[in-house]
Chain A
Amino acid sequence: MKEIKIVVKDLNLFYGDKQALKKITMDIPDKRVTAFIGPSGCGKSTFLRVINRMNDLIDHVKIDGEIYIDGVNIYDKSLDIVNLRKNVGMVFQKSNLFPKTVYENIVYGPRINGIKDKKVLDEIVERTLNQAAIWEEVKDRLNENALSLSGGQQQRLCIARALAVEPEIILMDEPASALDPLSTAKIEELIHDLKKQYTIVIVTHNMQQAARVSDQTAFFYLGELIEYDRTTTIFTNPSKKQTEDYVTGRFG
Chain B
Amino acid sequence: MELKKRKTDIAGFLSLGIVRLTFFFLVLILLLLLGKIFIEGINVISLEFLIDEPRNNMSEGGIGPAIFGTVAVTLLMVLFAVPLGVFSAIYLNEYATDTFFTRIIRTSINNLAGVPSIVFGLFGLGFFILFIGKGLDDVLQTGLLFGQPALLWASATLAVLVLPIVIVSTLEALNSVPKSHRDASYGLGATKWQTIKNVVLPQARPGILTGTILAISRGAGETAPILFLGAAFFLPNLPVADLCIGDYCIPMINPTEQFMYLAYHIFIMATQSANPTKTLPIQYGSTLVLIVLTFLLNITAIIFRYRFRKLLGRL
Q: Are A145 and B313 in contact (CB under 8 A)?
A: yes
Assuming A92-B180, A96-B180, A99-B203, is B187 touching A162 (CB within 8 A)?
A: yes
Interface string of A141-161 (1 = CB under 8 A from B): 000010110000000001001
**Bound-state Cα–Cα, A165 to B188, Å:** 7
Which A residues lie within 8 Å of B187 (CB)?
52, 54, 85, 89-90, 92, 162
6 contacts between A and B (CB under 8 A): A54-B186, A85-B187, A96-B183, A98-B185, A112-B190, A145-B313
User: Would you call A177 an interface residue if the criterion is a C-beta within 8 Å of the partner chain's C-beta atoms?
Assistant: no
Size of A's binding interface in residues, CB under 8 A? 28
B186's partner among A57, A59, A97, A145 (CB-CB below 8 A) is A57
**Bound-state Cα–Cα, A112 to B184, Å:** 13
User: Would you call A82 an interface residue if the criterion is a C-beta within 8 Å of the partner chain's C-beta atoms?
Assistant: yes
**Bound-state Cα–Cα, A146 to B181, Å:** 13
Q: Are B313 and A85 in contact (CB under 8 A)?
A: no
User: Would you call B198 an interface residue if the criterion is a C-beta within 8 Å of the partner chain's C-beta atoms?
Assistant: yes
Consensus secondary structure, chain B interface: helix
User: Would you call A86 an interface residue if the criterion is a C-beta within 8 Å of the partner chain's C-beta atoms?
Assistant: yes
User: Would you call B43 an interface residue if the criterion is a C-beta within 8 Å of the partner chain's C-beta atoms?
Assistant: no
Which of A82, A148, A161 has its CB near the most chain B CB atoms (within 10 A)?
A: A82
* Residues of B that sit less than 8 Å from A by CB: 97, 178, 180-191, 194, 198-199, 203, 312-314
Q: 8 closest Cβ contacts across the A-B interface?
A: A86-B189, A96-B180, A145-B313, A109-B188, A90-B187, A96-B184, A85-B189, A99-B312
Which B residues lie within 8 Å of A85 (CB)?
186-189
Which B residues lie within 8 Å of A108 (CB)?
185, 188, 190, 198
Which A residues lie within 8 Å of B191 (CB)?
82, 112
B184's partner among A98, A113, A147, A148 (CB-CB below 8 A) is A98
* Residues of A that sit less than 8 Å from B by CB: 52, 54, 57, 59, 82-83, 85-86, 89-90, 92, 94, 96-99, 108-109, 112-113, 145, 147-148, 158, 161-162, 164-165
**Bound-state Cα–Cα, A161 to B185, Å:** 10
Which of A59, A108, A147, A164 has its CB near the most chain B CB atoms (within 10 A)?
A: A108
Q: Are A162 and B188 in contact (CB under 8 A)?
A: yes
Q: Are B181 and A148 in contact (CB under 8 A)?
A: no
**Bound-state Cα–Cα, A48 to B190, Å:** 19
A-B residue pair count with CB separations less than 8 angstroms: 66
Question: For residue B314, which residue of chain A has the nearest CB?
Answer: A99
A161's partner among B178, B183, B188, B203 (CB-CB below 8 A) is B188
**Bound-state Cα–Cα, A161 to B189, Å:** 12
Which B residues lie within 8 Å of A158 (CB)?
184
Q: Are B189 and A165 in contact (CB under 8 A)?
A: yes
Q: Are B189 and A82 in contact (CB under 8 A)?
A: yes
A92's partner among B97, B183, B203 (CB-CB below 8 A) is B183
Q: Are B183 and A86 in contact (CB under 8 A)?
A: no
Which of B178, B183, B189, B191 has its CB near the most chain A CB atoms (within 10 A)?
A: B189
Q: Are B188 and A96 in contact (CB under 8 A)?
A: no
A94's partner among B97, B180, B189 (CB-CB below 8 A) is B180
**Bound-state Cα–Cα, A52 to B184, Å:** 12
**Bound-state Cα–Cα, A113 to B191, Å:** 10
Chain B nearest CB from A232 CB (Å) reads: 31
Assuming A96-B180, A145-B313, A147-B313, is B198 touching A112 (CB within 8 A)?
A: yes
Q: Besides the contacts A85-B187, A158-B184, what 10 more A-B pairs have beta carbons closer than 8 Å? A: A82-B191, A85-B186, A85-B188, A90-B183, A94-B180, A96-B178, A98-B181, A108-B188, A108-B198, A109-B189
Which A residues lie within 8 Å of B314 (CB)?
99
**Bound-state Cα–Cα, A164 to B183, Å:** 16
Which A residues lie within 8 Å of B186 (CB)?
54, 57, 85
Question: For residue A89, which residue of chain B has the nearest CB?
Answer: B187
Chain A nearest CB from B207 CB (Å) reads: 14
Which A residues lie within 8 Å of B199 (CB)?
98
